Copies of this chain bind each other. A is one copy, B any other.
Amino acid sequence: MSTDTSTPDVRPTDHTGLRVLSIDECLERLDRTAVGRIAFVLDGEVTVLPVVHTRDGVDVCFRTTGSSKVGAAVDHDRVAYQVDGFDARTRTGWSVLVQGTAVLVTQEADVRRLDLGSARSWVPQHEHGYQWIRVRTASITGRALG
């Protein structure tokens, strides 16, 4: 994020005129958004599924059942995690994109910490037999419109 702006009001924008969010702004929006979307490639098909996430440092973690499609994407491919918010009336909005690799959380201490620190899954069945998946973040980017 550029810090060489001459006035506090000048904010960086991309080539389409969208305001570039700082990493802190991206993390703050991840924190205040309950549901995001995990996107991954499975058998050559791009798949996007909503999940309830919890942030762990710059990583994003979420629960999944062992039999879920997301589980199949772990450890063998790049993934993305996305959160956004929109107001159709004012035609404004923002989007944050996390890109990285999905790994299974296997350390018991990590699982316990995630269990304690996170919101309950919205899908009751996931309370039993779920696994935590971590998106090991390689990049976080965000844009805002309006």
Contact = CB atoms under 8 A, between A and B. Distances in A.
Contacts of A34: 86, 88
B44 A48 contact: no
A123 interface: yes
A138 B57 CA distance: 38
Interface residues of A, number: 40
Nearest to A97: B48
Nearest to A49: B95
Interface string A83-115: 010101001110101010000000000000000
B47 A97 contact: yes
A29 interface: no
Interface string A38-81: 01110011111110000000000000010110000000011110
